[in-house]
Structure 1
């Protein structure tokens, strides 16, 4: 039975990856930060059979201990301060966790394996935010980086330190440069989930407005469940390489609003959306769209869920969640009628 250690197990990617690996017969270990972590119960319910270990990407000894206990064949480093907007307000913590945390995880593997790093296959969650002010469109593995946020800068460090350990120590280390990927498990602070949750609540009469920042930003949005499959495929190849994972299509925030509101029968969303300067980035990334042809050719990977299906999936999940909330705390209905179920 292969062993896998996942940092960031409480996030959407960690949950989907944990499910995938358990289905494939792995023994899965998840790293959980802090005592009495409120997400532990959710992880244990979603991933029955997982073994949780205490550890923190800002604390090297805890990472060494986790590797020694898990004895992993594969390590998936998904942990990060991952909300881009927060990275300006907590730049130092973002650098320590999202950037230097990658170095610590690699060092933990090197120390725990007595410098025989190639025994453990390592996946680093790199990000399309590293491209930032893009030099070419679409972006591919060879596109130069120009990050536009502390988050993007930290991810760029994590990406290059992974390459460095591959070249310096012979580590079987790969980076997946993942473009935006979403799901019903996405945190409500992210714009996709903020919109789908807001649309559901507006449709049910529990909310009046959604406050957003830049409506013209364009992203390459895919389904997180598809993208964790690509992570696993990367580590099954004998040659460690880096890959862009993307759909190859770009959509604006306005397109996302069209799809989400349209799914509940609202054609004109303008009365329900306000632009709030608080949600504008100090340095904007205008457009990201990836070229995943390398992953298609070498990993036989293709996204299965398209943009509109993804948005509909998220709105439906948020409608179900909002109905449950309203059943527990009734509010007067003043919105659009949405069919039950």
Structure 2
């Protein structure tokens, strides 16, 4: 009886939210998983530990802005699939660190593509593109044909990386895909991201802490999904016969105010009693509303978002609340 050979996946940026859930999914599918960070010896890989898979993942140090580092890592890992999730990923921080953002995202992607091309191996590449590339769309659902109008250094860098993936696919016949993912959250989302901050603050207050929620513009609207579902779409893209780009989204848009109100109401709290407006959190340019049309993914990948924004909030609170059980006791 023939058995399918075990595949190897290289996850660039495995220490992040998506990297952790993707590693978990691939391990369940019997992949050999190699994950990279800039310094694997000093990275704590907290998310891998939280998911209970730290010992099942091989770790490697790789600096995406160093071509030799990228080439050596790929040569040693010999992956069948590369999931490129690495690079500076905060929109807000990109305004403060535009050069580092451009280098880590755009140059990093170019080095990865060039390394795979130089090795001449039939490696399939997934690149984490982003809905931020679309810019302001007035909240109308956008798809793979919608033009990019980036409004931040992060989005500009990601747009450049997106088109490099597309160009190398066309020019060199590489199997390279862009996953244009809209906002997706989970308990692994760092507190520096607004959704993690909201859930953490609400849980602290519910547990008796004297805390306030400070936010900028809460009337912006976003399409929020559940991260563990979105990493499955990444995997599905690399299992197709031909490489294509896909929008991954729920198709529903909600305001940040709604997100906050539901989170606080779930814990029996009134948002207005704890909310402070802080202009310092407002960005130089901001997308007022976004929403994705993932009908292509449903048609060709069989993928469809199952969790709503309220489901996401409830699951995040369920995970976060026990961490503050000792407050006020």
TM bracket, shorter-chain basis:
over 0.9
Do the aligned residues in 1 keep the contact of 2:16 with 2:47 (CA within 8 Å)?
no
Count of aligned positions: 322
Do the aligned residues in 2 keep the contact of 1:80 with 1:94 (CA within 8 Å)?
yes
**Corresponding residue number in structure 1 for 2:278:** 276
Shift in Å at residue 130 of structure 1?
Answer: 0.2
Unaligned runs of at least 5 residues, structure 2? 1-5
1:129 and 2:118 matched: no
Shift in Å at residue 332 of structure 1?
Answer: 3.8
Q: 1:10 aligns with which of 15, 22, 33?
A: 15
Q: 1:229 aligns with which of 227, 232, 236?
A: 232
- Give the TM-score normalised by structure 1: 0.91
**SS where residue 236 of structure 1 aligns?**
coil
Do the aligned residues in 1 keep the contact of 2:220 with 2:287 (CA within 8 Å)?
yes
**Corresponding residue number in structure 2 for 1:312:** 314
**Corresponding residue number in structure 2 for 1:43:** 48
Shift in Å at residue 60 of structure 1?
Answer: 1.1
Do the aligned residues in 2 keep the contact of 1:215 with 1:254 (CA within 8 Å)?
yes
Q: Output one character per residue of 1:193-231: Cα deviation in whole Å (capped at 9) or x when no partner.
A: 100000000111224201111100100000000000000
Shift in Å at residue 136 of structure 1?
Answer: 7.5
Alignment root-mean-square deviation, CA: 1.4
Q: 1:161 aligns with which of 150, 160, 164?
A: 164
Within 5 Å, give how 1:57-136 maps onto structure 2: 57-113=64-120, 116=121, 119-134=122-137
Cα distance in 2, alignment partners of residues 31 and 6 from structure 1: 6
Do the aligned residues in 2 keep the contact of 1:134 with 1:145 (CA within 8 Å)?
no
Cα distance in 2, alignment partners of residues 87 and 207 from structure 1: 31
**Corresponding residue number in structure 2 for 1:336:** none
Cα distance in 1, alignment partners of residues 241 and 13 from structure 2: 25
Moved more, 305-314 or 154-163: 305-314
Shift in Å at residue 34 of structure 1?
Answer: 2.1
Cα distance in 2, alignment partners of residues 261 and 58 from structure 1: 42
- Give the TM-score normalised by structure 2: 0.95
Shift in Å at residue 35 of structure 1?
Answer: 5.7
Unaligned runs of at least 5 residues, structure 1? 334-341
